[in-house]
Amino acid sequence: MKALSLIFITSIFSNSISKDISIITCPINNFHKVDLTNDEVISGLKEALNIGIKNAIDLSSVRDGFLKNEMIRLPFPPDAIKVKEKALKFGLSKQVVTFEETMNRAAEEATKKALTIFTDAIKNMSISDGFSILRGGESTATKFLKRQTSKQLVLVFTPVVKEATTKVQLTAYWNPIITRYNSAMTLSGGQKLDPDLDAYITQKAIDGLFYLVEIEENKIRKDPIARVSDILVKVFGSLF
């Protein structure tokens, strides 16, 4: 009789615990089942990109923001690599180093004025299916932004870069190198070069910013702490 009573009590106790656990776990299981509209998703994506570009500019527009970051640092222009090789043979290694440093200073300087250019591009970006971008995986929003806005960004950002290259006196460091090279080509019958430095710096600076925005987007996708607004919590929280 005692054994039967014990079994009965144990059964009641187990059922009670099971119900309590069910009450606790149900909300957790349903926590991410949030109703989202396409407009909300688009708003969340643009919010993530705006935060991404702001943080990217904060990181890159300071001194050494480009120069000391190997992932976005501007190297000697690839289409003028022969110029670098000749300059080193001529004993102009110091001038080469200074030129490369000054190019990166120009990128850092230009990036200080990039925020409005990028945020305007994000604002005017047309998204028809926000869910496909949201669920597309890492960097999808940044890649979409890059495809949609790169040409326009180059047009708008180029004058800013030209202003920056003038400010840091880039041509003062470039002219001795390219003049020496072209003089040698005149004597040897080789091809003279005159690369468009402003175009090169513009494209590399934009590429560097997009690289940093990708990192920021992926933080928001993976880390709840990076979701610093209600719309980010709602939109990116729905992924899990």
Span 35-55, pLDDT tens digits: 899 999 999 999 999 999 999
Position 9 in a domain: no
Position 3 in a domain: no
Position 13 in a domain: no
Say whether pLDDT at 16 is over 60. Answer: no
Position 149 in a domain: yes
Say whether pLDDT at 25 is over 90. Answer: no
Say whether pLDDT at 170 is over 90. Answer: yes
Task: For tokens 């990076």, name the residue.
Answer: 226
Position 173 in a domain: yes
Say whether pLDDT at 115 is over 60. Answer: yes
d(CA 148, CA 142): 10
| Mean pLDDT to the nearest integer, 157-179 | 96
d(CA 96, CA 165): 16
d(CA 27, CA 34): 12
**Buried-exposed string 186-215: b where 16+ CB fall within 10 A, e elsewhere:** eeeeeeeeeeebbebbbbbbbebbbbbbbb
Position 28 in a domain: no
Confidence of residue 163 (pLDDT cuts 50, 70, 90): very high
Domain that holds residue 84: 38-237
Q: How many domains in the chain?
A: 1
3-class DSSP state of 186: helix
Q: What share of the chain is helix, strand, coil (3-state, %, to 5)?
A: 75, 0, 25
Position 198 in a domain: yes
pLDDT at 33: 55
d(CA 112, CA 181): 33
What torsion, rounded to 10 degrees, do the Cα atoms 165, 169, 174, 180 define? 150
Range of lowest pLDDT (18-27, 45-54, 193-202)? 18-27
Q: How many CA atoms lie within 13 A of 19 on its CB side?
A: 6
pTM: 0.84
| Mean pLDDT to the nearest integer, 187-193 | 93
Mean pLDDT of the chain: 88
Confidence of residue 34 (pLDDT cuts 50, 70, 90): low
pLDDT at 68: 98
**Are the beta carbons of 163 and 201 closer than 8 angstroms?**
no
d(CA 105, CA 64): 8
Can you spell out the DSSP letters for 109-159?
Answer: HHHTT-HHHHHHHHHH---S-HHHHHTT-TTHHHHHHHHHHHHHHHHHHHH
pLDDT at 70: 97
Confidence of residue 240 (pLDDT cuts 50, 70, 90): confident
Position 2 in a domain: no
